[in-house]
Amino acid sequence: MGAILLRDVTIRDIRKDVLIEQGRIAKTGPAGACGAWQLAGDIEIMDCSGKVAVPGFINMHTHSPMSLMRGIGEDVLFHEWLDKIWKVEEHLDHDFVYWGTKVACLEMIRTGTTTFNDQYWFFDSSVKAAREMGLRIATGYDVMDKGSREEALRQKDQCIAKSEAYLSAGDPGHIYELAFHAVYSVSEEMIVWTSELAQKYDVNLHIHLCETRKEVEDCKAAHGGLTPVEYLDRLGVLSPRLLAAHTLWLTPHDIELLAARGVHCIHNINSNTKLASGYRFLYNEMRDAGINLCLGTDGCASSNNLDMLEAMKTAAIFQKAWREDPAALPLPELMDMATVNGARALRLDAGRIEEGAAADLILIETDNTFFLSPGPFLANLVYSAHSDCIDSVICDGRFLMRHREIPGEREILAEARKVLAKIS
C-alpha cells in the first residue's frame, strides 16, 4: 500500500500537510511542514489547496442491494411497502445482491461514505462487492424466521457456520456482526438465540427497533403491555453490542433503558418521513440521557438514495421545525452523528483526522458557489452544498475516487442493468 501526501489541505480552518501510510494517518503538520519530513518510497502527492478534508461518513444503517429496488412501493404506508418488498425479495440471489451492492458502493463513494453498516440476505456477496470497491462494510448473518420452526432450525445451522468462517478469516475491512430483522418478524426463541450468539462471539447485533407506531402497539398487545424496548430488555437483548435502527417511537422509560444498557441508536430521517412512519426523533432527550446517536440513510427502496450529506441536512431541519428551536441539532453534533459516533458504535478507530486514526477522509472542493460566503464551513457544507462538491475519497489509506472519477463505473452500471430482469 503506497503512501499519500496531502499538501496544503484545510482541516478545521487550519491549513495542514497530512501523510498517510499503511492505512493510517501517520503525520500531520502545518502547511509546508512536509518539507522537513523524511519521505521515502512510493508516495502519491496531491495538491489540496482550496480543498477541505473531513472524516469519511459512516452510514450506520442501510440495505445496500436495494440500490436496484428504487421506486418499488411508492406512496404507501410502511407495512404495505414491506409486503411489496418481501414479495420482490423472493426472487433475489447472490448475483443480484452482488451487483446491487456494487451500485450502492458507487453511490456511497460519490457521496463521501467510507464505512457502511449493512443488513441483507446473501451477505457474502455484499462483502465481496464492498471489498472490491474498497469500502469498509459491517454486516453478517441476518435472522428472520417469521415464526417458522423449520426456518429457525435451518437459519441456526447456517448462521453458526457462516459466523465461524468469517470470524476465523479476520478481514480488517469487514466488521462481522449478526442481525435480526425486528420483534414482529422474528420469534422470541430466535431473538434470544441470536443475541446470545452475538454475546458469545463478542460481535454487534444490528436490528430495526420502534420504527412505526404500529410496531409498538402490536408489541404491547402481544407482550402484556411491553414496548419493543421493554420487551427486548426483558429478554436480555439490550447491551452495548446492540445497534438499533430508527428508535423513533420511544417512551421516557424506553430512553432510560436504552441509555442504561449502552445501546447505540441510529436515526434514519429520510425513510421515516417518506414512509410516513414519523419525524419526531427524540434527539435531545436521547443525547441528554447519554445515548450514542448515529445516522443512516436506510435502503434505496425507502429513502431513496444513500447520500449522507442529504440525510444530515434533513435530520437537522426536521429537528429545528418540530421543536420550533433553530439550535435543536447543532452542526458539530450533526457531524459527529455522521462520523465519529458511528465509529464508536462499530468499535472502529476512525471518524477523526488525527495521527494514528484510520485514513478515512473526503476532500471537499470549495471553489464553487456554495462556499463563497464567509459563513462557517460546516453550515455551507450541510445546508448549501450538494455531494457533488466531494472531489476525492480515501478509505483505509487508498483513493477510491480521485477528482470525481471512480474506476469501472460504466461496467458496473451495465452489469446491474442485466440483473434487474430478476425483479422486472
Q: Give the pLDDT confidence of 140-161 residue by residue, as tens digits.
A: 999 999 999 999 999 999 999 9
Q: Is the pLDDT of residue 251 over 90?
A: yes
- In this prediction, residues 47-57 reach a mean pLDDT of 97
- In this prediction, residues 160-187 reach a mean pLDDT of 96
User: 94 falls in which pLDDT band (50, 70, 90)?
Assistant: very high
**Scanning the structure block, which residue is given the C-alpha cell 462499530?**
346
- In this prediction, residues 177-202 reach a mean pLDDT of 98
pLDDT in tens, 344-397: 999 999 999 999 999 999 999 999 999 998 899 999 999 999 999 999 999 999
Q: How many CB atoms sit inside 10 A of residue 151's CB?
A: 15
Does this model's pTM top 0.85? My answer is yes
Question: Which residues touch 270 (CB under 8 Å, ≥6 apart)?
Answer: 297, 298, 302, 303, 304, 305, 310, 311, 314
The fold of 3-55+358-409 is: Urease, subunit C; domain 1 (2.30.40)
User: 91 falls in which pLDDT band (50, 70, 90)?
Assistant: confident
Question: Which residues touch 319 (CB under 8 Å, ≥6 apart)?
Answer: 281, 283, 284, 325, 328, 329
Considering only CA atoms, which of 276, 268, 319, 271 is closest in space to residue 296? 268
Question: 297: which 3 cell numbers?
Answer: 440513510
Identify the CATH class of 58-345: alpha beta
Measured CA to CA in angstroms, residue 396 lies from 196, 244, 378 at distances of 32, 26, 24
- For the chain, how far is it from start to end, CA to CA, in angstroms? 42
DSSP E strands in 164-296: the ranges are 174-176, 178-180, 205-209, 242-246, 264-267, 292-295
State residue 42's pLDDT score.
86
C-alpha 176: how far from its chain's center?
14
State residue 211's pLDDT score.
98
C-alpha 34: how far from its chain's center?
34
Q: Residue ranges per domain, the chain? A: 3-55+358-409, 58-345
State residue 1's pLDDT score.
63
Phi, psi at 281, each rounded to 5°: -65, 125
Host H or E run for residue 316: helix 308-323
pLDDT in tens, 21-49: 999 999 999 999 998 898 878 899 999 99
Q: Is the pLDDT of residue 341 over 80?
A: yes
The fraction of the chain above a pLDDT of 90, given in percent, is 93
Cβ(34)–Cβ(18) below 8 Å:
no
pLDDT in tens, 68-83: 999 988 999 898 999 9
- In this prediction, residues 252-278 reach a mean pLDDT of 98
Mean pLDDT score across all residues of the chain = 96
Question: Which residues touch 49 (CB under 8 Å, ≥6 apart)?
Answer: 7, 8
